[in-house]
Amino acid sequence: MFEVVIGLEVHVQLNTKSKLFCSCATSFNHKQNTNTCPTCLALPGALPVLNKEVLHKSIMLGTAIDATINKTSYFDRKSYFYPDSPSAYQVTQLYTPVVEHGKLQIDFDDGTNKVIRVNRAHIEADAGKNIHDGDISKVDLNRAGTPLLEIVSEPDMSSAEEAILYLKKLHSIIRYLDIGDANMQEGSFRVDVNVSIRPKGDEKLYTRVEIKNINSFKFIEKAIELEVSRQSEAWEDGLYEEEICQETRLFDQVKNETRSMRGKEEAADYRYFPEPDLLKAVVTDEMLEKYSKIPELPDEKRDRLMKEYGLNVYNAGVITSSVETARFFETMMQEGISGKNATTWLTVELLARLKGDVNITNSPVDAKKLGFLVKRIEDKTISGKAAKEVLDYLMENDPDVDSVIEKLGLKQVTDTGALEKMCNEIISANQDKVEQFRAGKEKLFGFFVGQVMKKSKGSANPQVVNEILKEKLS
Summarize as ranges the residues that interact with Zn ion (CB under 5 A). Answer: 22, 24, 37, 39-40
The footprint of Mg ion (CB under 5 A) covers: 9, 192
Name which of 456, 474, 385 is nearest 465 in CA terms.
456
Q: Quick check: 160 binds ligand ADP (CB under 6 A)?
A: no
Q: How many degrees, rounded to 5, is the angle at CA 188 between CA 4 and CA 125? A: 95
Query: Which of 152, 163, 211, 214 touches ligand ADP by CB under 6 A?
Result: 152
Which of Mg ion, ligand ADP, Zn ion, none lies near 387, with the C-beta cut-off 5 to 8 A by kind? Answer: none
Task: Give least dist CB 98 to Zn ion, A.
Answer: 21
Residue 24 interacts, among Zn ion, Mg ion, ligand ADP, none and using kind-specific CB cut-offs from 5 to 8 Å, with: Zn ion
Give whichever of 102 and 339 is closer to Mg ion, judged by the CB atom: 102
Task: Provide φ and ψ at 158, rounded to 5°.
Answer: -125, 20
Residues with Cβ within 8 Å of 282's Cβ and at least 6 positions away in sequence, in order, are: 71, 72
Q: How many CA atoms lie within 13 A of 169 on its CB side?
A: 25
Does residue 8 bind ligand ADP (CB under 6 A)?
Answer: yes
DSSP 398: -
Q: Return the one option of Mg ion, ligand ADP, Zn ion, none that residue 7 interacts with (CB less than 5 to 8 A, by type).
A: ligand ADP
Q: Does 11 bind ligand ADP (CB under 6 A)?
A: no
Q: Which of 35, 39, 196, 258 binds ligand ADP (CB under 6 A)?
A: 196
CB burial of residue 463 (10 Å; 0-12, 13-18, 19+): exposed
Nearer to Zn ion by Cβ, of 41 and 250: the residue is 41
Cβ distance to ligand ADP smaller for residue 7 or 339: 7
Q: Least distance from C-beta 179 to ligand ADP, angstroms?
A: 20
Q: Alpha-carbon distance 218 to 164, whole Å?
A: 9
* Closer residue to Zn ion (CB): 24 or 163: 24
CB half-sphere exposure, 181, CA atoms < 13 A: 12
Q: Which does 313 bind (CB under 5 to 8 A by kind): ligand ADP, Zn ion, Mg ion, none?
A: none
Q: What minimum distance in Å lies between the beta carbon of 192 and Mg ion?
A: 5
Q: Which of Zn ion, ligand ADP, Mg ion, none sits in contact with 37, Cβ below 5 to 8 A by type?
A: Zn ion
Binding mask 201-220 for ligand ADP (x = CB under 6 A): ----xx-x-x----------
Handedness of CA 191, 87, 274, 267 (dihedral sign): positive
Kindly state the smallest distance separating residue 46's Cβ from Zn ion, in Å: 9
Using CB under 6 A as the binding criterion, the count of chain residues that bind ligand ADP stands at 16
392, 443, 459 from 408: Cα distances, Å = 11, 33, 11
Beta strand pairing call for 247-252 and 209-214: parallel
Q: How far from 308 is each of 163, 297, 368, CA to CA, in Å?
A: 31, 16, 19
Q: Site residues (CB under 6 A) for ligand ADP?
A: 5-9, 152-155, 194-196, 205-206, 208, 210
